[in-house]
Amino acid sequence: MTTYHIIEYIVMPVFFIALIAVTGRLEKRLVWQYGDLGTQPPYPDVSGYAEQWTKQALQCGFILLGWAPDPRMPGYRQNYALLVSPERDCLVVVCSGNIFKLKSQSATIYTPTQNSKVYYTTANQNGAQIDLLGHWMGQLTVVNTFQALLRNHRDLLRDKGATVQPFNEGREVEAFKRLRVERYETMARRGLITFMDGMETCWHFTLWGALRYAILNYTIGIARAITRGRVFRCV
């Protein structure tokens, strides 16, 4: 094995896994990352990404619940559009903005099931969430329209034989928040994360959790990027 191969296949993966693990230990993450809902995007949508995906979702009959900022401003200048399907079986989060100087864009559909799982489909790697518990199962599908994203999400639910637990009308956001709270409470009990405040609103990974997350995130992310989501379709 040449020096080049050692760097490419050993040194670089170890470096990136270590970087992800250190970031996981140090980064402050929110249990609920959406601020108060409003009727308009809190920041100008320069790229037009959020407007495009939200408009397409509305054309599919989805209902706009509101626009939220990221509470971690000013460094996190992100718009979140929250929408729900007319059947109340899908909640959509469209994100567009910047985390400091880095562009952040994603469109993700979430569906809870009666066996306490959540299936999601995202159109961008930024929306992928590797769940160490195996309760939130997601797929990356590289598409350019909301119609295609929704079709792929429905296919995933059908293939998994998911029994959907619909959101209660008028309480969709509260139900989605409760799902996230329960997820992180379970992770804390399993020793994967530690809450950083007494109100349990923010958290970071434990050393064990950060190492597991880093290895899975790097491995799955590379495989999905190479295969456009065909490998590790739902994890």
pTM, 2 dp = 0.92
Res 45: pLDDT: 86
Write down the pLDDT at residue 80.
Answer: 97
Is 118 in contact with 135 (CB distance < 8 Å)? yes
73 within some domain: yes
Task: Confirm whether 185 is domain-assigned.
Answer: yes
Residue 54 confidence (pLDDT): 97
Residue 171 lies in a domain: yes
Q: For residue 119, is it within any domain?
A: yes
CA pair distance 71, 30, nearest whole angstrom: 9
Domain tally, the chain: 1
pLDDT at 6: 47
In a domain, 234, yes or no: no
What is the domain extent for residue 105?
3-227
Q: What is the pLDDT of residue 227?
A: 83
Instruction: Show the 3-state SS of the chain.
Output: CCHHHHHHHHHHHHHHHHHHHHHHHHCCEECCCCCCCECCCCCCCCCCHHHHHHHHHHHCCCEEEEEEECCCCCCEEEEEEEEECCCCCCEEEEEEEEECCEEEEEEEEEEEECCCCEEEEECCHHHCCCCCCCCEEEEECCCCCHHHHHHHHHHHHHHCCCCECCCCCCCHHHHHHHHHHHHHHHHHHCCCEEECCCCCCEEEECHHHHHHHHHHHHHHHHHHHHHCCCCCCCC
Q: How far apart are CA 117 and CA 98, in angstroms?
A: 30
Is 83 inside any structural domain? yes
For residue 17, give both structure tokens.
């896994």
- Position 8 scores a pLDDT of 54
Query: What whole-number distance in Å separates Cα of residue 19 and Cα of residue 17?
Result: 5
- The three-state secondary structure class of 187 is helix
Mean pLDDT per block of 10 residues along the chain (235 residues) reads 54 88 92 95 90 97 97 87 98 93 92 96 89 93 95 96 96 97 97 95 96 93 81 81
172 is a domain residue: yes
